[in-house]
Amino acid sequence: MNKNTFTNPENRTLISWLLLSLLAIMWGSSFIIIKKSLDAFTPIQIGTVRILAAGLVFLPWIISSRKQFPKEKTKYFIASGLLGYFLPAFLFAFAGSKINSSLSGTLNSATPLFVLIVGAIFFQQIIKRWQVAGLVLGFAGSVILVLSSSKDGLSLNQLNPYALLIILASLMYGFNVNIVGKHLSGINAVLLSGWTLFSVAVVSAIILFSTDFVSRINTDTLQPLMMLLLLGAINSGIAAIIFNYVLQISSPVFASSVTYLIPVVATLMGFIDGESISFLHYFGMTIILVGVYLINKK
């Protein structure tokens, strides 16, 4: 591809949107894969297999580039690995055992809200007036989704604590995006993804093989295992390269706007799988997306 393809602002914008759409398909389908994998494995096993598989994808690059590793940025790689991959992998797995995959995907759309909040508080980012309105709407939509997790409509008494795990994961993503954007933006996207994931893959392996994971593997669990390995290798590993590249050629808020599209994919996957979605879920989703739109408005 001609070098001008990447330097031309219009082409960079088109590439950014195309890659963002691809990420939405990858990550939007992750929630239903997690749900299916829970039939055979525990949330802890799902989280660790996902990270370990993603880390192994980058092993050849990690070995060949070990002399290029910027040791002075070690703490940022570890922070990114923990906040962007390791901890959210467990939170999504635990949440997926109790709430619909479509709801998980929709709640995750709050990520740009946290990117903006974290950026303003900890990274000296400036928030514009319409972005404040977007934050308020996004928060309101998230509250509606959390409180409408039951079939009884909105109710504090029916608060689903597992929905809060998705909110917590989104907050962690908010920190990760800002950390990468500020401290790791000049690093090759493949190496950035590899070093970040490998920093937590070793710990994941130790945790995984301290469980009954091996004894669970049989002919009945082979398909869920294959889905889980693909989830880690493609939806986490390859997707990490794409996301870090988009982050480098656009902005933290734009890159996090992949969650704009994730709810559409997650909801479609959930609908195909027979999940029931209430009017309040659609209403909350719409409010969040309007909020994210305002946050990204220039």
Q: Is 11 domain-assigned?
A: no
Total domain count, the chain: 1
pLDDT of 159 reads 63
Which residue has tokens 């960079």? 12
pLDDT of 216 reads 96
Say if residues 16 and 199 touch (Cβ distance below 8 Å): no
Q: Is 17 domain-assigned?
A: no
pLDDT tier at 1 (50, 70, 90 boundaries)? very low
pLDDT of 298 reads 67
- Residue 34's contacts (CB-CB under 8 Å, 6 or more residues apart) are 46, 92, 93, 96, 101, 104, 231
Q: What is the mean pLDDT of the chain?
A: 85
Q: Which residue type, as a one-letter code, is found at position 92? A: F
Q: Three-class SS of residue 94?
A: helix
Residue 98 CA to residue 59 CA, distance in Å, equals: 34
Q: Is 16 domain-assigned?
A: no
pLDDT tier at 106 (50, 70, 90 boundaries)? confident
CB atoms within 10 A of CB 72: 7
Concatenated DSSP letters for 151-196? TT-S-GGG--HHHHHHHHHHHHHHHHHHHHHHHSTTS-HHHHHHHH
Q: Residue 59 pLDDT > 50, yes or no? A: yes
Q: Is 6 domain-assigned?
A: no
Query: For the chain, how far is it from start to end, CA to CA, in angstroms?
Result: 30
pLDDT of 3 reads 46
- Residue 237's contacts (CB-CB under 8 Å, 6 or more residues apart) are 53, 54, 55, 57, 58, 193, 197
Helix locations, the chain, DSSP H? 4-7, 9-28, 30-37, 43-57, 59-64, 74-81, 87-96, 101-107, 111-122, 129-147, 161-183, 189-208, 213-216, 222-230, 239-249, 252-256, 262-272, 279-296
For the segment 134-157, the average pLDDT, to the nearest whole number, is 68
Q: Is 9 domain-assigned?
A: no
Q: Is 15 domain-assigned?
A: no
Q: Is 176 domain-assigned?
A: yes
**8-state DSSP, 123:** S
Residue 99 CA to residue 92 CA, distance in Å, equals: 10
- Token output for 62: 């990690």
Question: 110, 98, 94: which is closest to 144 by C-alpha?
Answer: 110
Q: Determine which of 46-50, 164-168, 262-266 has the lowest per-residue pLDDT on average.
A: 262-266
* Each residue's pLDDT tens digit, 219-265: 999 999 999 999 999 998 899 889 888 888 887 777 877 876 787 78
Which residue has tokens 């401290």? 183
pLDDT of 5 reads 46
Going from the C-alpha of 51 to that of each of 39, 44, 208, 264, 298, the distances in angstroms are 19, 11, 10, 25, 36
Residue 28 CA to residue 106 CA, distance in Å, equals: 9
- List the domain range (segments joined by +) for residue 85: 22-296
* Each residue's pLDDT tens digit, 70-96: 999 999 999 999 999 999 999 999 998
What whole-number percentage of the chain has pLDDT above 90?
39
Q: Residue 101 pLDDT > 90, yes or no? A: no
pLDDT tier at 108 (50, 70, 90 boundaries)? confident
pLDDT tier at 48 (50, 70, 90 boundaries)? very high
Residue 146 CA to residue 143 CA, distance in Å, equals: 5
Q: Which of the two residues, 274 and 76, has the higher pLDDT score?
A: 76
Q: Is 4 domain-assigned?
A: no
pLDDT of 264 reads 77
Q: Residue 10 pLDDT > 70, yes or no? A: no
pLDDT of 76 reads 95
Q: Which of the two residues, 147 and 33, has the higher pLDDT score?
A: 33
Q: Which of the two residues, 166 and 2, has the higher pLDDT score?
A: 166
Q: Residue 267 pLDDT > 90, yes or no? A: no
